[in-house]
């Protein structure tokens, strides 16, 4: 057995003090990864797993800050297929390139994400990352983001910590896992905290008014902001008139969207309150009004209220109005900051 703290090299780039790497026989892993679970207020598996992976480094970021800097704290999205397909659980995910790029810019971490690779063909990269004390992100067998914290058999077998997997990671053949890989490829200069916060706030009105994002296989689009809420409400209102498979798809996608929306709006309010000291007083007051709107949105969408399916479309309509109010106040804060030159 060998243990030790390492100051890692990833992709040839130095990174902050990385995790403690432990070796026992043919097994090598990064120690200290936290438990992942659905009941921790971290329903977005990408943000939760990235928080976990970064927690063992010298530059960690909380789930709430990752939600803010990625824009997930301010985003709502719903999928609509060109062929009439209604809803998709991917509406709520956070591992798309747009969010990864935003997080790389805000945190200084070089995030090399890739969809579709055969992980067995990438095992040398994964082994190199683990040996440097840096966990990787992968999909688990259920296509949820998980943390690869170790390997054995020279990387042919990966140790994967997932939501719902308990305290102990599971061993999976690399070539059996779905194709997704994100590597921590080094850490560079971070933006000034005020510029980083301002950039996060700018995403709120941009995401609210964002044009649909096209998707292929199957063909369709993700709708954002008001359009996303409208499509989500429309799907819920028609679920009693569709076949069982379509109803199940709507309810699955809606359930994932709901828990993600609830968690990320908690983050939105806390994120603005935690960082509003970085802007002038008038802008901070506008952000407090926005945070209070998110507080009311969270109350409207409480699990007790949401438990009645018949109420869900009307609850979303109220949440949408409150979100529009919050985005208006965030836009006002941005204008006040720009006008003041602060």
Does one domain contain both 237 and 157? no
Dist. CA 140–CA 174, nearest whole Å: 10
Q: Is 272 among the domain residues?
A: yes
Asked if residue 26 is part of any domain, the answer here is yes
| Banded model confidence at residue 16, pLDDT cuts 50, 70, 90 | low
- Specify the pLDDT at position 340: 81
* Domain end point (choices 163, 187, 211): 187
- Count of other CB atoms within 10 angstroms of residue 142: 11
Query: Which DSSP state fits 31?
Result: S
Please tell me whether residues 131 and 166 are part of one structural domain.
Answer: yes
Number of domains in the chain: 2
Identify whether 246 is part of a domain.
yes
Res 5 pLDDT > 70:
no
Question: Does residue 209 sit in the same domain as residue 166?
Answer: no
* Closest alpha carbon to 322 in 286, 287, 296, 284: 296
Model confidence band, residue 15 (pLDDT cutoffs 50, 70, 90): low
CA distance 31 to 260: 28
Token pair 């096209």 in the structure block, residue: 214
User: Would you tell me how many other CB atoms lie within 10 Å of the CB of residue 198?
Assistant: 20
Take residue 53 and report the two structure tokens written for it. Answer: 């992976």
162 pLDDT exceeds 70?
yes
Within this chain, do residues 172 and 209 fall inside the same structural domain, yes or no?
no
Last residue of one domain, picked from the residues 134, 162, 187: 187
Is 74 a member of any domain? no
Please indicate, yes or no, whether residues 37 and 161 belong to a single structural domain of this protein: yes
In a domain, 146, yes or no: yes
> For residue 74, is pLDDT > 90?
yes
- Do 10 and 131 fall into the same domain? yes
Kindly state whether residues 311 and 241 are assigned to the same domain: yes
The two tokens of residue 301 are 């969408």
Going by the DSSP 8-state scheme, the letter that residue 276 receives in this structure is G
Question: How far is 266 from 182, CA to CA, in rounded Å?
Answer: 26
Q: Is residue 203 part of a domain?
A: yes
Tell whether 260 and 310 lie within a shared domain: yes
Q: pLDDT tens-digit profile of 136-157? A: 999 999 999 999 999 999 999 9
Q: For residue 144, which phi and psi values (nearest 5 degrees)?
A: -100, 145
Domain range for 320: 193-340
Is there a single domain that holds both residue 175 and residue 152?
Answer: yes
* Residue 97, Cβ density class (10 Å: 0-12 exposed, 13-18 middle, ≥19 buried): exposed
Q: Is the pLDDT of residue 218 over 50?
A: yes
- For 94-142, the pLDDT digits (tens) are 999 999 999 999 999 999 999 999 999 999 999 999 999 999 999 999 9
Burial class (CB in 10 A: 0-12, 13-18, 19+), 52: buried
Q: Is 78 within a domain?
A: no
- Residues 306/312, Cβ–Cβ less than 8 Å: yes
Q: Mean of the per-residue pLDDT values for the chain? A: 93
Entry pTM: 0.93
38 DSSP assignment? G
Same domain assignment for residues 160 and 273: no
Query: Of 187, 220, 236, which one is at a domain's C-terminal end?
Result: 187
For residues 10 and 238, the model is more confident at 238
Residues 171 and 197 in one domain: no
The predicted-structure confidence for 260-297, as pLDDT tens digits, reads as follows: 999 999 999 999 999 999 999 999 999 999 999 999 99
Q: Which of 99, 101, 69, 100 is nearest to 272 (CA)?
A: 69
Q: Are residues 31 and 49 in the same domain?
A: yes
Mapped onto helix, strand or coil, the DSSP state of residue 26 is: coil
DSSP 70-118: HSGGG--EEEEETTS-B--GGGG---SHHHHHHHHHHH-EEEEEEES--
Q: Does residue 76 form part of some domain?
A: no
Percent of the chain with pLDDT over 90: 87
């Amino acid at each position: 057995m060998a243990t030790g703290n390492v100051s890692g090299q990833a992709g040839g780039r130095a990174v902050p003090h990385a995790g403690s790497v432990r070796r026992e026989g043919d097994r090598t892993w990064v120690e200290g990864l936290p438990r992942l679970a659905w009941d921790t207020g971290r329903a977005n598996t990408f943000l939760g797993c990235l928080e976990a992976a970064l927690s063992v480094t010298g530059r960690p970021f909380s789930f709430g800050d990752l939600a803010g800097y990625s824009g997930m704290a301010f985003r709502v999205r719903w999928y609509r297929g060109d062929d009439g397909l209604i809803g998709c659980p991917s509406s709520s995910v956070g591992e798309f390139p747009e969010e990864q790029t935003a997080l790389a810019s805000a945190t200084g971490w070089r995030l090399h994400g890739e969809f579709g690779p055969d992980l067995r063909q990438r095992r040398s990269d994964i082994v190199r990352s683990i040996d440097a004390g840096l966990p990787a992100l992968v999909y688990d067998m259920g296509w949820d983001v998980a943390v690869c914290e170790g390997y054995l058999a020279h990387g042919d077998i990966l140790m994967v910590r997932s939501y719902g997997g308990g305290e102990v990671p599971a061993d999976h053949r690399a070539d059996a896992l779905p194709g997704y890989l994100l590597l921590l490829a080094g850490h560079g200069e971070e933006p000034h905290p005020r510029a980083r916060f301002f950039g996060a706030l700018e995403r709120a009105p941009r995401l609210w008014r964002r044009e649909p994002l096209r998707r292929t296989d199957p063909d369709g689009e993700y709708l954002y902001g008001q359009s996303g809420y409208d499509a989500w409400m429309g799907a819920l209102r028609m679920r009693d008139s569709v076949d069982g498979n379509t109803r199940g798809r709507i309810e699955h996608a809606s359930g994932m969207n709901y828990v993600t929306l609830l968690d990320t709006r908690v983050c939105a309010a806390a994120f603005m309150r935690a960082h509003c000291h970085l802007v002038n007083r008038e802008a901070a007051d506008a952000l407090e009004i926005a945070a209070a709107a998110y507080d009311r949105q969270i109350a409207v969408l409480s699990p007790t209220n949401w438990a009645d399916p018949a109420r869900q479309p009307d609850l979303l309509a109220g949440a949408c109005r409150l979100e529009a109010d919050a985005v208006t106040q965030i836009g006002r804060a941005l204008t006040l900051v720009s006008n003041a030159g602060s």
